[in-house]
Amino acid sequence: MRLVSLLRTVWSVALAAVLLAALTAAVPADRASADSPARSTSVHQVGYDTYSVTIDGKRVMLWSGEFHYWRLPSPDLWRDVLQKIKASGMNAVSIYFDWAYHSPARGTYDFTGVRDVDKLLDMAQEAGLYVIARPGPYINAETDGGGFPGWLTTQKGRARSTDAGYLDAAHEWLRHIDTILARHQVSNDTGPVLLYQVENELYDPDGRAYMVDLSKQARSDGITVPLVGNEPEPQYAGGEGLDFVGALDQYNTFCQGQWWVPQLTRPDETKPLAVLEAGTGWFQTWGDTGYDKCRQTVGPAYQKIVNKAEIMQGATIENLYMAYGGTNWGWLADPRQVYTSYDYGAPITEARQTGADYDELKRQGLFYTTTAPLTKTEPAEAPASSDESVGVTARANPDTGTQFLYLRHADAMADSDTTTRFNWRTPNGTYPVSVRLNGQTGKILLAGYDLGGQRLVYSTSELMTSTTAGDRDVALLYGADGDPGQTVLRYASKPTVTVLDGTAKAAWDPDRGDLKLDYTHSGLTRILVHGGGRPDLLLLIGTDDQAAGFWRPDSATLVRGGELVRTSAVRGSTLALTGDASKAGPLEVFASSAVRNVTWNGSPVTVRRTASGSLFGSVPGPKDVQLPRLTYWKKSTETPEAAAGFDDSSWTYADKLTTDNPTRPGTLPVLYQDEYGYHYGYVWYRGHFTATGTEKSLSLTAYATNPDTSSRAVGAYSVWINGKFAGTSETGRHTFPLSAGLLHKGADNVVSVLVGTMGHNEDFAYAGDDHKQPRGLTTAYLSGSDARITWRVQGARGGEQPVDTARGAMNTGGLYGERSGWTLPGYPDQKWKDTSLPVSDTTPGLAWYRTNFTSRIPAGQDVSVGVTIADDATRDYRALIYVNGWLMGQYVNDTGPQHTFPIPNGILRADGRNTIAIASWNEDGTSGDLGKVTLTQLGNVTSSLRVADVKAPSYDPAVYAQQATPATVGVDAPDTVEPGNTYQVTATVTVPRTGRALRGTALSLTGLPDGWAATPQDPIQVGTVKPGATAEARWTVGVPADQATDAVVVLKAKASFSGGSVTGEKVITAQPPPPTAGEHYISDLPFQSSSNGWGPVERDRSNGENAAGDGLPLTLHDTTYAKGLGTHAASSVQVWLGGSCTTFHAALGLDQETYGRTDGPATVDFTVLADGEQVYDSGTVDRDADTKAIDVDVSGARQLELIVSDAADGNALDHADWADAKVTCGGGA
Pairing of strands 1087-1091, 1131-1136: antiparallel
Q: Are 851 and 630 in contact (CB under 8 A)?
A: yes
Domain 377-619: give its CATH architecture: 3-layer Sandwich (2.102)
Phi, psi of 774, rounded to the nearest 5 degrees: -60, 150
Task: Please tell me the predicted confidence (pLDDT) of residue 231.
Answer: 85
Q: Evaluate if residue 9 carries a pLDDT over 50.
A: no
**Mean local confidence (pLDDT), 143-157:** 97
Predicted confidence band of residue 1108 (pLDDT cuts 50, 70, 90): confident
pLDDT of 953-973, one tens digit each? 999 999 999 888 999 999 999
Three-class SS state of 1152: helix
**Mean local confidence (pLDDT), 1202-1212:** 87
Residue by residue, DSSP assigns 515-550 as EEEEEE--SEEEEEEEETTEEEEEEEEEEHHHHHTE
Among residues 457, 460, 468, the alpha carbon closest in space to that of 430 is found at 457
Among residues 1143, 1150, 1107, 1106, the alpha carbon closest in space to that of 1126 is found at 1150
pLDDT of 571-615, one tens digit each? 999 999 999 999 999 999 999 999 999 999 999 999 999 999 999
d(Cα 520, Cα 436) in Å, to the nearest integer?
A: 11
Task: Please tell me the predicted confidence (pLDDT) of residue 834.
Answer: 98
Alpha-carbon dihedral of residues 1151, 1153, 1159, 1164, nearest 10 degrees?
0
Phi, psi of 158, rounded to the nearest 5 degrees: -75, 130
Class of domain 639-794: mainly beta
The pLDDT mean for the chain works out to 93
Q: Evaluate if residue 20 carries a pLDDT over 60.
A: no
Please, which residues bridge with residue 808 across strands?
A: none
Matching CATH topology for 824-949 and 1078-1225? yes
**Number of CB atoms found within 10 A of residue 1061's CB:** 15
Task: Please tell me the predicted confidence (pLDDT) of residue 765.
Answer: 78
Please list, in sequence order, all residues whose beta carbon lies within 8 angstroms of the beta carbon of residue 194, skipping any fewer than 6 positions away: 46, 53, 55, 60, 62, 92, 130, 131, 132, 185, 186, 225, 226
Please list, in sequence order, all residues whose beta carbon lies within 8 angstroms of the beta carbon of residue 199, skipping any fewer than 6 positions away: 136, 137, 138, 160, 210, 211, 214, 229, 231
d(Cα 505, Cα 803) in Å, to the nearest integer?
A: 72
Residue by residue, DSSP assigns 1021-1050 as EEEEE-TT-EEEEEEEEEPPTTPPTTEEEE
Among 519-523, 1132-1136, 1159-1163, the range scoring the smallest mean pLDDT is 1159-1163
Q: Evaluate if residue 1106 carries a pLDDT over 80.
A: no
Question: Does the model's pTM come out above 0.85?
Answer: yes
d(Cα 1224, Cα 1073) in Å, to the nearest integer?
A: 15
Task: Please tell me the predicted confidence (pLDDT) of residue 1107.
Answer: 75
Three-class SS state of 972: strand
Predicted confidence band of residue 240 (pLDDT cuts 50, 70, 90): confident
Task: Please tell me the predicted confidence (pLDDT) of residue 242.
Answer: 80
Task: Please tell me the predicted confidence (pLDDT) of residue 712.
Answer: 55
Q: E strands, 358-439, where? A: 378-380, 390-396, 403-409, 417-426, 429-438
Task: Please tell me the predicted confidence (pLDDT) of residue 35.
Answer: 36
Evaluate whether the domain defined by 1078-1225 bears CATH number 3.20.10.10. Answer: no
Q: Evaluate if residue 884 carries a pLDDT over 60.
A: yes
Predicted confidence band of residue 1 (pLDDT cuts 50, 70, 90): very low
Q: How far is CA 1206 from the centre of its chain?
A: 29
Task: Please tell me the predicted confidence (pLDDT) of residue 972.
Answer: 96
pLDDT of 122-144, one tens digit each? 999 999 999 999 999 999 999 99
pLDDT of 397-411, one tens digit each? 999 999 999 999 999
Q: Evaluate if residue 793 carries a pLDDT over 90.
A: yes
Phi, psi of 417, rounded to the nearest 5 degrees: -100, 105
Helices (H), 98-206: 99-102, 117-127, 164-182
| Largest Cα span, the chain | 116
End-to-end CA distance of the chain: 59
Domain 16-354: give its CATH architecture: Alpha-Beta Barrel (3.20)
Residue by residue, DSSP assigns 859-909 as TTEEEEEEEEEE--TTS-EEEEEEETTEEEEEEETTT-S--EEEE-BTTB-
Pairing of strands 315-324, 273-279: parallel
**Mean local confidence (pLDDT), 516-521:** 99
Helices (H), 30-112: 75-87, 99-102
Evaluate whether the domain defined by 824-949 bears CATH number 2.60.120.260. Answer: yes
Among 622-631, 811-820, 1130-1139, the range scoring the smallest mean pLDDT is 1130-1139
pLDDT of 844-870, one tens digit each? 999 999 999 999 999 999 999 999 999
Three-class SS state of 718: strand
- List % helix, strand, coil for the chain (3-state, nearest 5): 15, 40, 45
d(Cα 575, Cα 98) in Å, to the nearest integer?
A: 40
Q: Please state the domain extents for the chain.
A: 16-354, 377-619, 639-794, 824-949, 968-1070, 1078-1225
Pairing of strands 193-197, 130-134: parallel
Please, which residues bridge with residue 604 across strands?
A: 599
**Number of CB atoms found within 10 A of residue 987's CB:** 27
Domain 968-1070: give its CATH architecture: Sandwich (2.60)
Produce one character per residue of 296-322: b if its CB has 16 or more CB atoms within 10 Å, e if not: ebbbbbbbbbbbbbbbbbbbbbbbbbb
Among 108-112, 263-267, 522-526, the range scoring the smallest mean pLDDT is 263-267
Q: What does DSSP assign to residue 1153?
A: G
Please list, in sequence order, all residues whose beta carbon lies within 8 angstroms of the beta carbon of residue 1151, skipping any fewer than 6 positions away: 1102, 1103, 1112, 1114, 1115, 1116, 1126, 1215, 1216, 1217
Residues with a known catalytic role:
201, 277
Task: Please tell me the predicted confidence (pLDDT) of residue 70.
Answer: 99
